[in-house]
Structure 1
Amino acid sequence: MICPHCGKNVLHRERGKRTCAKCGRLFALEPKESPFRLHDLRMRRLIDRLGDGRNLRYTLPQLWYAAARGRLRDPGQTFFGIRMGISIALGIVIFALAVTGLVYWALALGAGVAALVGVNVLLTALRPRYLATTLVPMPVTYARFEQFVVARWIQVYGAPPAGSVDGRTPLPPMPARPRFAVLCPDSTVLTCLSANNVAGLWGMAPVGRIDQLPPGVPVLVLHDASVPGITYVAGARAALGARVVPVGLAPRAVLGKAKAIRLREGRPTADDLARISGERLTAEERAWLADGWQTPLASVPPAALLAALGSAVDRVERALDPDRRRAAAVGFLTWPTR
């Protein structure tokens, strides 16, 4: 590990009690113990990335998701590991039987080949179901992240990570005369937007419930890429009609994106899927949702959220009424490439 203070490479035995043996200074995160194998320099890179070089504010749950990127379970790789482990174990058993003389070499070789072929045929048949049903949760809970990352960071550096805001911070009062509203069920995202002054930028009121919306203004809807998220925007459209402008996150925005956070905690029921049957989704999006995949909106970096809202505001402002109705079927939020 590179010491965040002196910049020297420090071996594990040289950094006991999270103290660099070369400069004697305490650091916050030991990668062999910290969630997501975080260390101070990687933490600073995550902070810089979320700030986007513009000192954007972000919530601690957004930092949690950013730290998890690239560290989620891959069902395909997991299944490959299971297959290799079973094959190796079977080979060792057959080899041991032959070496100990319990089975003749020729018989052991024949039985081993037959067993390996049979096992791999069975595993090949089981693979599609495994890939379609295995769970992919966040590898570390947010509570553990707070305890072993954020709290230790505060302990060493005297303050929370630069630019962060607590996702539980109450929202400020909405502007006196809002021009737009952004409706989102995730308070973490609303806190992020408020901290980045969407009220001042666009006269926008961040709102968590339909009954809190100011009257008569366009409503930009943000939601997860998930069955509940799609259901949420459908409900908003049914309640508010042409005022609704879905901004995202649509499943198509994360399909094929290697950096997107894709989680699976179970498969939706037939009733759940029926509620989104009337939505404009591609066959690929419907299959992705039916398999239980989801991407939380809070995993989208602040820069992408703000860019999506800015694009939606620009389109609504320039649109005539017929175009505004067509915009209600368009999702603007895409996954960042960086």
Structure 2
Amino acid sequence: MICPHCAQSLLQKERPDRRCSICGRRFAFDPKTNPLRLNDLRVRRIADRLTQNGQLPCTTGQLWYALSRRTLRQPGVDLDWAFILLLAGAAAGGIGLAAGVGFAQFIGLLVLLVGAGFVAAHLMGVRRGRPKVGRQAFRTDTMAVWRDVYHQLPPGVLDDSRYPQPGEASADAPVVICPDRSIGVFLHKAGVDVFADWSGLPGRGPVLVLHDADPDGLLFVDRVRAAVPGRAVVDIGVPVDAVFGVTKAVPVRGDRPGRHVIESLAAGGELTPEQLKWLGKGWGFPLVGVPPAKLLAVVRGAVEDAEARRGAAAVGFLTWPEERGGRSA
């Protein structure tokens, strides 16, 4: 790896205890021992890309997804162990055959079978999409290692440990609801007022809902509609159509939802059988996986559109004459 301080190429033996043997300075991550295969230069590079070199905010949740994409694509079964088991099994079996020891032959065959099972699991993609490091552990543990070395988060990255306090909204202004704390912090820093849920929601204007593209997120929109009857509720994503089967949209796999959850989603009639099957296996795509610039553009565009519609309705556009006191034509 390259030392993030002196830019020298280091062999593993030249960086004991995450310290460069050339310049003597510590670094945060060694790709050989880090479960996400991180190094400090990659963390900085990804943070710069997410923030567009400091022009946009970014949270630890968004950084977590961007740094996890590589490992999310990979099966959770490491082939290194498979090769070790295959070699060990072959060696034990060979020794048993040469010495005529049946027990050694049996052990060798057993180890070979276990190693072959690991290879098969890898080829089948077992545990693909399962995070090597969860979001919470990334924020509290992985970033704690970074803070210990650099005494702050990576440049441009915001702490998302607490949901921001929304500002005052006018009675008819559109409001944004997003249950994801990382995105709440991101939008607040970008100048967009956002609420975690419908409790204490101000005004009577349209409600714009952001959510993950997973069963819980999709059903969250229905819960918002039920909680604020009489108000326009607009689903602004993430839509399943935008991520299902899209190569660049690397999904995350969690627990399988209950049958009643999938039945509720199917009743809406908006998802294809293939999408329902995908969601039923625990797959989904998180809001934090949407590039910050793209997400902010979508949210600002939705707010501006809602504002324009509100203004048009106030002067009679999009309304029938009788709704303004006149007679229908």
**TM-score in terms of structure 1 length:** 0.73
TM-aligned CA deviation for residue 311 of structure 1 = 2.6
Work out whether 1:278 is the aligned partner of 2:267.
Answer: yes
The answer for the alignment partner of 1:59 in structure 2 is: 59
- Per the alignment, residue 20 of structure 1 pairs with 20
Tell me, yes or no, if structure 1 residue 292 matches structure 2 residue 282: yes
Q: In structure 2, which of residues 239, 243, 246 is the aligned counterpart of residue 257 of structure 1?
A: 246
Q: In the aligned structure 2, how far is the partner of 1:221 from the partner of 1:312?
A: 10
Q: Write the distance in 1 (CA, Å) between the matches of 2:31 and 2:87.
A: 31
What is the aligned partner in structure 1 of residue 222 from structure 2?
234
Match of 2:199 among 204, 207, 211: 211
Higher relative contact order at CA 8 Å, sep ≥6: structure 1 or structure 2?
1
Paired amino acid for 1:296: P
Residues 1:165 and 2:158 are matched in the alignment: yes
How far did 1:221 drift?
A: 0.5
Q: Shift of residue 73 of structure 1? A: 5.8
Contact 1:35 1:149 in 2 (8 A): no
Q: Deviations over 1:199-237 (max 9, x none)?
A: xxxxxx311121222222121100111111111112223
Alignment RMSD: 3.9
For 1:217, the aligned partner's letter is G
Give the Cα separation in 1 of the matches to 2:78 and 2:273.
26
| 2:281 maps to 1:266 | no
Q: How many pairs align? A: 300
CA contact 1:183–1:207 (8 Å) conserved in 2: yes
C-alpha displacement at 1:17, in angstroms?
A: 2.9
Q: Any gaps of 5 or more consecutive residues in structure 2?
A: 103-108, 319-329
Asked if the contact 1:65/1:261 (under 8 Å) is kept, the reply is no
Alignment of 1:29 with 2:29, yes or no, is: yes
Spell out, residue by residue over 1:281-301, the C-alpha distance to the aligned partner (whole angstroms, 9 max, x if none): 233322211222122223333
Structure 2 counterpart of 1:309: 299
Shift of 1:19: 2.3
CA 1:24–1:226: 2 relative to 1, 3 Å: same
Compared CA separation, residues 134 and 70, structure 1 to 2 (3 A): closer
Question: Could you list the runs of 5+ residues in structure 1 that have no partner in the other structure?
Answer: 104-111, 199-204, 325-338
C-alpha change, 1:238 and 1:144, in structure 2 (3 Å) is closer
- Partner Cα distance (1:89, 1:28) in 2: 35
Amino acid at match of 1:208: A
Matched to 1:51, the amino acid is T
**For 1:6-49, what per-residue CA distance to the aligned partner results, in whole angstroms no more than 9, with x for missing partners?**
22211122222322222232222222233412111001012112
Aligned match of 2:322: none
Work out the CA distance in 2 between the residues paired with 1:189 and 1:228.
Answer: 16
Secondary structure of 1:37's counterpart equals coil
Identity %: 36
Amino acid at match of 1:278: A
Q: Structure 1 residues 295, 157: closer, same or farther in 2, change over 3 A?
A: same
- Aligned counterparts, 1:146-225, within 5 A: 146=139, 148-177=141-170, 179-198=173-192, 205-225=193-213
